[in-house]
Structure 1
Amino acid sequence: MPSDPLKKNPGPEQPVKVLPRHLAGPGTADPHTAWPFPFDEDWTLHQLENGTAFAVSPCLRLWTHLHPEPGTSHQGTWTIAANRIPFGPRAWQITFDAMTPVELLHDVHAELLDLYLEDLHSDWDHLFGDTTPAYEAYGPLFAQGWGHSVETEGTQTFYCGDGLAGVRHQYASRGSDVPEWMVWGGYSSEPLWQARFSTGTPTALVAAFTASLISTGPLHRNAKDIPSQFRRHLYLATPAPKPAPGTPPAAPPPGPERTR
């Protein structure tokens, strides 16, 4: 059993950098952190006093929602949905437990905005006719040494080397009630968090999520916010000291590369 990397930590407020990402905890569930939308231009943001928040695209076909549930195991739900016509039935939907690291949510929403803008300024229809192959979402997992198993009913599952994260792909259709993709962190029998991508979800969004999931860029947390049951599985480092006044800031580590 590895030793607890936080055993000698000075205190619960100590800032640390954490890897792997899937065990880092959610971070700050702030819509402005998760949603990189141009709210000062044409996207709409609604926030309620209880923490509930909505963001809506100008075309009224895309919306994303935070529904906090303090005191529950997963703390609530983030939801992304798309309608082919404003206020019509949902064409596809993604749900994330609120325990999902917020940086992963940000990268999915950034890709969503990219798809929206590409469709807006071209004849493409990435939001409802994405042609990104499934391999774009799971291929990078192989490069990180993830295991792979295939079941005869049309399901393939990818497992992280530490056994504490997985990606399940339903490549043979089993109906709209079964998510085409499911991703989790923690033990598969009792996940710390789960993400579910319905049939019809653009594969580019799944690929953005898996790329962020396996990124080697550490996440910034306070020691007290890291899930205690997984502390022995983490790699930690204290953040570098602040540079002296007048020193140019170091460039941030590159984010996950997204290609189509």
Structure 2
Amino acid sequence: MSPDPLKNPGPDQTVKVLPRHLAGPGTADPHTAWPFPFDEDWTLRQSEHGTVLAVSPCLRLWTSLLHEPATSRLGTWTIAANRVPFGPAGWTITFDATTPVELLHDVHTELLDLYLEDLHSDRDHLFGDTTPAYEAYAPLFAQGWGHSVRTDGTQTFLSWDGLAGVRHRYAATGPDGLAWRGWGGRLSEPLWQARFSTGTPLTLVAAFTASLISAVPLHRAVTDTPSQFRRHLYLTTPTPKPAPGGPPPPSGAGRIR
């Protein structure tokens, strides 16, 4: 059996881990999370207080990262869309900065696709998305997540290990309500949370859930994985490239105990 990389790891020891909801945030870098073409009129700004902001050329779409290193969530990622430039937000999405950055990347990639579809058509996908709610939680069913429905108009999906969840408020709560919520870790003290307001395009929620249950492992430094949940992780150790003409090096994979 290969040695456990979590025992006396070197300072640069990295692993590939699953499930994603327990992997840790990775590098909270806007250039990792944001796929926007900043060389094509998208604006990137950073304030003296550390807030990083990206704005679309039409000024109706913006997303930001507010660093708060002294808090348990380390800050907040926020996405908002306005029906008119500088108007009130029609919908918002927020992520704790402790959310795995790959989930943020996948949601922002879908957001850019919506923006480009609107740019090249007479549709307004940012405010008239017709994606059914089922597409947002179908991936969870496919992965065997548990499902419960309450009389208060909410349904909750829980991962097989009980350490991640998605809650959907399917009953109308008004324009300012919270429609979807996702988290990793224990609900009483989550590692991270994501919140989607009423009016958020459901294709963005679907991008989030699909990324959340993806079987593609995430690269992490050993020291960045949440120590209290390491026994729930599966990992492989990245291996060096074989020498030309030589056999491939052995690799280890297994559950952390």
Name the TM-score, length of structure 1 as normaliser.
0.89
Q: What residue in structure 1 maps to residue 44 of structure 2?
A: 45
CA contact (8 A) 1:127 1:202 kept: yes
Q: Indicate yes or no: 2:18 matched with 1:19.
A: yes
1:240 matched residue in structure 2: 239
CA distance in 2, matches of 1:18, 1:9: 18
1:71-220 alignment runs, 5 A limit: 71-220=70-219
Cα deviation, residue 13, structure 1? 2.5
Number of residue pairs matched?
Answer: 242
**What amino acid maps onto 1:96 in structure 2?**
F
Shift of 1:9: 5.0
Give the whole-Å Cα distance in 1 for the aligned partners of 2:55 and 2:47.
Answer: 15
CA deviations on 1:210-236 (whole Å, 9 max, x unpaired) are: 000000000001001111111111011
Q: Is the 8 A contact 2:5 2:13 kept in 1?
A: no
Matched, 1:66 2:65: yes
The CA distance in 2 between the partners of 1:178 and 1:125, in whole Å, is 22
After superposition, give the CA deviation of every residue in 1:17-58 in whole Å (9 maximum; x if it has no partner).
010000011100110000000001111100235432000000
Identity of aligned residues (%): 79
Q: Greater CA deviation, 202-211 or 233-242?
A: 233-242
Mark the CA change 1:141 to 1:52 in structure 2 (over 3 Å): closer, same or farther: same
Q: Which residue of 2 aligns with 1:250?
A: none
Tell me, which stretches of 5 or more residues in structure 1 are unaligned? 246-260
- Cα distance in 1 for partners of 2:173, 2:36 equals 34
Could you say what the CA RMSD is over the residues aligned between the two structures, in angstroms?
Answer: 1.5
Task: Give the conservation status (yes or no) of the 8 Å contact 2:154–2:168.
Answer: yes
Greater CA deviation, 235-244 or 17-26? 235-244
The alpha carbon displacement at 1:177 in A equals: 4.2
Q: Is the 8 A contact 1:13 1:224 kept in 2?
A: no
- Equivalent residue of 1:117, what SS? helix
SS state of the match for residue 180, structure 1? strand
Question: Offset of 1:174 from its aligned partner?
Answer: 1.8
Check the 8 A contact 2:13/2:221 in 1, yes or no: yes
In the TM superposition, 1:1-12 aligns within 5 A as: 6-12=5-11
TM-score normalised according to structure 2 size: 0.90
Which AA in structure 1 matches 2:233? L
- Aligned-partner residue type, residue 37 of structure 1: F
Q: Which moved more, 1:144-153 or 1:10-19?
A: 10-19
Deviations 1:137-165 (A, max 9, x none): 00111110000000012100000000000
Partner secondary structure for residue 178 of structure 2: coil
Residue pair 2:6, 2:222 contacting (<8 A) in 1 also: no
Query: Quick one: which amino acid aligns to residue 111 of structure 1?
Result: E
Q: SS of the counterpart of 2:105?
A: helix
Which is higher, the Rg of structure 1 or of structure 2? Answer: 2
